Amino acid sequence: MNLPYDFAIQSVTQELVYSVAKIADQPFLLPEKSELNSRETRYMVKNVITYHLYRKFTTDDKIIYEEIPEEKPDGNKPPVKKQP
């Protein structure tokens, strides 16, 4: 909308379609397809994207925050704990 007259792209349209997809037996409203069309002076560009194969990704890692000891007065740093 309101593109300058001398701008190379003269029109752009975009359509985004949503649908319900099941992930881990739960319904989610997610993008299904996107289509972008643009027109330049002599060219038309069409970009179509389809979304599919949605999956649930999980991890069993945990983040544990521990207090960091301050430096000792003699300037030596405390030993660093190694994670298993």
Indicate whether this model's pTM tops 0.85.
no
By percentage, how much of the chain surpasses pLDDT 90? 36
Check pLDDT > 80 for residue 3.
Answer: no
Q: Is 34 or 65 the better-scoring residue by pLDDT?
A: 34
pLDDT over 80 (residue 81): no
pLDDT score recorded for residue 55: 84
Question: What number is the average pLDDT over the span 67-77?
Answer: 67
Cα separations in angstroms, 70 against 63, 64, 65, 75 = 21, 19, 16, 10
Three-state helix/strand/coil letters over 1-58: CCCCCCCCEEEEEEEEEEEEEEECCEEEEEEEEEEEEEEECCCEEEEEEECCCCCCCC
Yes or no: say if 41 and 21 are a contact pair by the CB < 8 Å rule: no
